[in-house]
Chain A
Amino acid sequence: MKDCADRLLLGTRKGLMIYGRDGAGWKLVNHSFTGVAIAYACHDPRTGLLWAAQDHGHWGQKLSRSADWGQTWEEVPAPTYPEGEMIKEGQPATLRYLWVIQPGHASQPDTLYVGTEPGGLFVSHDRGDSFELVRALWDHPSRKEGKWFGGGRDTAGIHSIVVDPRDARHLFIAVSCAGVFESRDGGESWAPRNKGMSAEFLPDADAEVGQDPHFIAMAEGDPQTFWQQNHCGIYYSTDGCANWKLVSKAGQTAHFGFAVAVDPHCPEVAWVVPAKSDMERMAIDGALVVCRTDDGGRSWKEQRSGLPQENCYDIAYRHALDVADRSLVFGTTTGNAFTSDDRGENWQDLGRGLPPIYSCRFAKA
């Protein structure tokens, strides 16, 4: 987001927390769905609607929208897998998780995308009144051949959706585990875009499908530039995902993690919240750190000022880091959240002892 944000949405294990910013900083202004896990929440600047994906412990996955910043909510029919669809032979496909919600192109204000587990991308053309499965992706031969599998979730899931601001029909999605896919025809056909990635967990590390991109983000300032926090390092693409370059090294602070955010003004600038290896998945040496690169990943600067530096076991999930203009926010599974107003140079507490945090997204009222 290039604009300065004045709202902050935290999807947590115990509800959606909405913060507003005034002269004194961020303050909690609304707590919706108390006690219900919110897998993801975002604001659609085209329609003004808030969206929240609920992960009920008992009642399944629900999707709700609000036209008044969370004062009231309306549940819409959640995406459903058509009868007869199978994850694999003998395993019927049912909605397991609403992992990400992505507003469509600016020219299509009624269009909304939802990424789900077990691997279905859904699209709505009526502001969420109804959804349909994006058939060509679901029927992609690589999925049918069993090359999609669980990573982070029990079965494959779509956690990243990118709409090219230059072309409403140009889409990217990322699947854990399968990789990045691109469509240039509004979702009618898809091709894997995983060249340059290396999956250390596969016998064929360079497999075209089977990679584990934890999250991908397009640079607002240059839609050809993409960043990716992968299970096996940080990747960077300057040609629209056609080729990916590894820009981190095992053993260095910035390498393993889940989230990545790109400076809205400068495509070579990005942030990650590193964690200690996929074997342990917690803060490195008990200290929280954010890393920023200013040069397309050639070097990474550690940003620790204001972050706790002992007794930390936090990790930040893939949707729990965001940037708006010069501001940043991230939240952790330990229930700690931090904001920065100077591009990560200094951090302030948003809250400690919060519920586990799944998503952090800025918005502007």
Chain B
Amino acid sequence: MDNTTRYQRLLERYQNGDLDRRSFLGLIGAAGLAYGLQTPFARYAAAQEVTQVRFDGWGGVVSEAFREHAFDPYTAATGIDVVDGTFGGGDEYLARVRTSQPGEYNIAHLSGVFDYARYHNLELSVELNEDNIPNLQLCMPALSEAFRAISGGPLSCVPYNYGTTGIAYNRAHISDEEAQAQGAGLLINADYEGKIGGWSDWRTRIWYGALQTGQDPNNITDIEAVWDAVRQHRDLALRYWTSGAELMNLLAEGEIHVTEGWSGRIFALQEQGHDIGYIDPPNGFGWQECLFVIAGSPIEACEELLNFMLEPATSIAVAEGQNYPPALDPTRVDLGAKIPTLPAFDPTGTLDHLTFANPDYWNGNEQEWSETFSRVQRGY
């Protein structure tokens, strides 16, 4: 029985009157004290016998798909429970991991290759034994190679899905032809002042600033021009959205007519019947997500779980739920009917048509650019 269930049963007894208030609070306090005292030493016990693995992801349909297709079968096969948590953003999650005890967090559904590099640089990576993850062979090599380049060969994650951050627009106000013709420039078109949105993420703002000034996002030569483009967008924008849910709400409610958007979220809006167009401009922002094993975790148990999560049935169910193509190689695995219709899907399995951020380049500029963006956003 896990701690949550224990607590719920205790609470139920208290609410039913089977337990007096003093005893209830006493037991809760004792449990808290015991947990606080044992935590620094829990990892040694955990090293001896693995009883649970913690997975953290984005929640929603993804977690439900993981629970049904991977976690429950994994628990049935191994007897190891999977505790799944959620996070609102990669930065917030990294802050949580950094303040935790080793082994407290095990596997995370991380965004981009940046995060992989950040975790690796902070010595939070491990070396996975790929022989224990046979389903990794079904994934597109192009995705794994990006991670190998950072950690010098071994992997601390398995690739899981990919997508793009393209331009989403309301077809009632902006035609497909206009969107295609203007590309990234649509986001700084003064005709749409007050109806433009954008993600509050500094990387995306700079990436699109580079596209708007005709520069290669992985080799920006005139950063001042990029900041000017970011300022131009800021002054025209109504809102910097901070989550996928907010992005969808702003577009669906007609608050904004054009913004960058995550391919899967825009596809979900289209599925709901909203007349929203989506294009990836030349050099549009491609990204991939991975399942990362954090240092201090029970490696073999995590490898086994990763293999369950990479099972084609699980990967496809998750992909169909979140509308992002899976990392599975479409030339080797039948991905069904829906996935080939998703935005950013690459039937060749090479991903040559997508531009990914160079992690060395972007992480090398992270400190300076993220701090400067904070100022530019506020009118500087």
The answer to whether A and B come from one shared complex is: no
Which A residues form the contact surface with B (CB < 8 A)? none
